[in-house]
Amino acid sequence: AGNAGVIPPRPGFLQALREETKRAGALLIFDEVITGFRIAPGGAQQLYNVMPDITCLGKIVGGGLPVGAYGGPRSIMENVAPLGPVYQAGTLSGNPLAMAAGIATLRVLGRPGVYEELEDKARKLEKAFKEGAQEAGVPIWQNRVGSMLSTFFTEKEVWDYASAKTSDTARYARFFREMLSRGVYLAPSQFEAAFVSLAHSEEDLETTREAIRSAMKELP
């Protein structure tokens, strides 16, 4: 999950969903609005080797511009108009600007070594959070999947929404303000994921590392 912070699935969970939906004759739908093209070229389904029946994607396919997409096998998609009885339309469907930006983005992501670079940068940022918190004596739990990561201000392992809610949101708010005062803008909510971008330079990462180290020491 990425909408309560980064919460990786337990081993076997997604595979069990696939098996149970097949057994029940139900469709398995993956919401890859956050994970699509971000943690792997094929999203979470590629990373965890689980094939859903339908995949939903968001503005990543428009290079950040307003657009959404969904897809699946021909046997399902042929049920959608104009071939089938399920009507679907949208004001921004196929918007030329969004499609051009999306194609440009996917071309960049298709370059050799892109995901390895993202993994390396995210690993460095993850290490910076862990070391900064340890040095300051601040308890955190760090989750990361590819270029997505979350720092939960809790001593407990975060593996679902209930455990994420054990986080000290007041402490995170103080940390957010301390980081902002040092020129680093994080997500303002404890329950949002952070994303590492190809645009982040090594200098950016070092600046962030120093800010984390300093900001953590200001937390009571």
**pLDDT digit string, tens, across residues 173-210:** 999 999 999 999 999 999 999 999 999 999 999 999 99
For 73-92, write each residue's pLDDT tens digit. Answer: 999 999 999 899 999 888 87
Sign of the C-alpha dihedral, residues 108, 113, 114, 117? negative
The residues pairing with 149 across neighbouring beta strands, listed in sequence order, are 144, 194
Residues 6 or more apart whose Cβ sits within 8 Å of residue 66: 59, 92, 95, 98
CATH for 114-216, among 1.10.150.120, 3.40.50.970, 3.30.590.10, 3.90.1150.10? 3.90.1150.10
The CATH code for residues 13-109 is 3.40.640.10
Q: What residue spans define the domains of the chain?
A: 13-109, 114-216
Question: What's the pLDDT tens digit per position in 156-181?
Answer: 999 999 999 999 999 999 999 999 99
Q: Is the pLDDT of residue 17 over 80?
A: yes
Sign for the CA dihedral angle at 10, 123, 35, 108 comes to negative
Q: How far apart are CA 150 and CA 138, in angstroms?
A: 15
Q: How far apart are CA 71 and CA 69, in angstroms?
A: 7
| Region 137-166 average pLDDT | 96
What mean pLDDT value characterizes the chain?
94
Task: Judge contact between 198 and 117, C-beta under 8 A.
Answer: yes
The C-alpha angle 220, 176, 172, rounded to 5 degrees, equals 55
* Sequence-separated (6 or more) residues with CB below 8 Å from residue 205: 121, 124, 125, 128
Reported pTM: 0.89
CB 213 within 8 A of CB 131: yes
Say how far apart CA 173 and CA 165 lie, in whole Å: 14
Q: For the chain, where are the E strands, in sequence order?
A: 29-31, 54-57, 69-71, 141-145, 148-152, 194-195
